[in-house]
């Protein structure tokens, strides 16, 4: 036994435990730093993608002779037009999903009856989603938004200057030839054929 009442083996075990704990702590700090660094890198990549998409959209508008500022306003209006329709549809569909989960939970746990019960619940959920689209008139609403968007974009054209067309240089014109007097034609002698009798 040592002076402190520990054996060399227990001191070694204690040293190993402390070293292992220190390594785990360092590893955890390093893992947290790597995770934070990765999150920053992903955020920068997302910002880069967004900037590239915006630059591409502007360049595409310019190629099509569309004012990018006007087109951005049209896209914002389209989003504002679609938002309440999509929100109402998602709310209605969420209610259908909740109804499906409730009905599935009420189905028997085992047996053929469970399969039939789940099938019926899924069919009701499908019909519920279909009713959501019909009742909210989603298709007609989205079509109206698209029509307004097209009208808006048609007004965003950049006026192009007409291409100058080269006008042909005037050609010198020759004066018309002077009128000449011609004598009327004189009748010539006529020959009478002689026919033998």
Q: What is the pLDDT along the chain (197 residues), one digit of tens a residue?
A: 444 556 777 777 877 777 877 777 777 777 677 778 888 888 888 888 888 888 898 888 888 898 999 999 999 999 999 999 999 999 999 999 999 999 999 999 888 888 899 999 999 999 999 999 888 888 899 999 999 999 999 998 876 665 666 666 667 666 666 666 666 666 666 666 666 66
Find all residues with CB under 8 Å of 93, minimum gap 6, and list them.
129, 132
> So what's the pLDDT on residue 177?
64
> So what's the pLDDT on residue 83?
95
Find all residues with CB under 8 Å of 71, minimum gap 6, and list them.
57, 61, 153, 156
pTM: 0.54
CB 77, CB 152: distance < 8 Å:
yes
Q: Tokens 């965003």 identify what position?
A: 156
> So what's the pLDDT on residue 2?
47
DSSP tag of 66: B
Task: Enumerate the domain spans of the chain.
Answer: 16-64, 66-156
């Amino acid at each position: 036994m040592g002076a402190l009442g520990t054996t060399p083996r227990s001191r070694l075990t204690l040293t190993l435990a402390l070293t292992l704990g220190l390594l785990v702590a360092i590893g955890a700090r390093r893992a947290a730093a790597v995770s934070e660094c990765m999150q920053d890198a992903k955020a920068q990549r997302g910002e880069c993608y967004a900037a590239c998409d915006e630059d591409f959209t502007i360049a595409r508008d310019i190629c099509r002779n569309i004012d990018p500022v006007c087109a951005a306003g049209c896209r914002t209006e389209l989003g504002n037009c679609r938002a309440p329709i999509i929100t109402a549809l998602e709310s209605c569909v969420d209610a259908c999903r909740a109804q499906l989960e409730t009905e599935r939970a009420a189905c028997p746990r085992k047996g053929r009856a469970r399969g039939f019960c789940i099938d019926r619940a899924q069919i009701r959920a499908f019909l519920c989603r279909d009713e959501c689209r019909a009742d909210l008139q989603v298709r007609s609403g989205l079509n109206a938004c698209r029509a307004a968007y097209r009208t808006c974009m048609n007004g965003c054209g950049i006026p192009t200057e007409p291409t100058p067309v080269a006008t042909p240089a005037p050609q010198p014109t020759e004066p018309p030839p002077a009128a000449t007097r011609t004598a009327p034609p004189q009748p010539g002698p006529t020959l009478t054929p002689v026919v033998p009798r």
